[in-house]
Amino acid sequence: MPDAELETLSLDDCLAMLRSHGIGRVAVVDNDFPVILPVNYRLVETSGKSWIALRTRPGNVLDRAAMPVAFEIDHFDISAQEGWSVLARGTLHHVNPVAGGFGERFDPGPWFDDERDAWLIIEPFSITGRRLRSPQAHWAFRVEGYI
């Protein structure tokens, strides 16, 4: 796509996208190799700070992960050749869900609650995003509407 436009998203746009979604991927290192895991999450915003809250099973890869992590959400429209992604890089911390009512206020709501009792947050030091826009004019009646 020679005339495609790659736009850098503002922090406000990135946070809005993180607020409006609930599924992402966490990249961690396990046994010296990177692993990327899909997770449910919730953006936690208090007093000017933002964190990403996760729940997992005690003892699994995510619960054992080292502190530096990356987290990503994205969306792509293949037929329009457009998409966006938000990347948060930061540190992973264990959280006591009872302290300050954290669990009640910020539960990310796992799709299945099979003893996902390890509560984690990602404290980002960087949140960035990009959007790719296609230069092509879009036909108002796209094929996907009829399939």
Number of domains in the chain: 1
pLDDT of residue 123: 94
| Candidate from 25-29, 54-58, 80-84, 97-101 with smallest mean pLDDT | 97-101
Instruction: Give the highest mean pLDDT range of 53-67, 71-85, 128-142.
Output: 71-85
pLDDT of residue 107: 62
Residue 16 φ/ψ, nearest 5 degrees:
-60, -40
Specify the CATH number for the domain of residue 123: 2.30.110.10
This prediction's pTM: 0.80
* Average pLDDT of the residues of the chain: 82
- Find the angle CA(49)-CA(52)-CA(54) to the nearest 5 degrees: 145
38-73 pLDDT per residue, tens: 998 989 888 888 999 888 877 888 878 878 999 999
Enter the DSSP assignment of 114.
S
Give me the mean pLDDT over the 109-127 stretch: 78
pLDDT of residue 94: 85
Q: Which helix (H) or strand (E) holds 13?
A: helix 11-20
For 32, the domain range is: 5-146
pLDDT level of residue 143 (50, 70, 90 thresholds): low
Residues forming a β-bridge with 36: 27
pLDDT at 16 over 90: yes
pLDDT of residue 48: 81
Rounded-to-integer distance, Cα 5 and Cα 119, Å: 39
16 vs 47: which has the higher pLDDT = 16
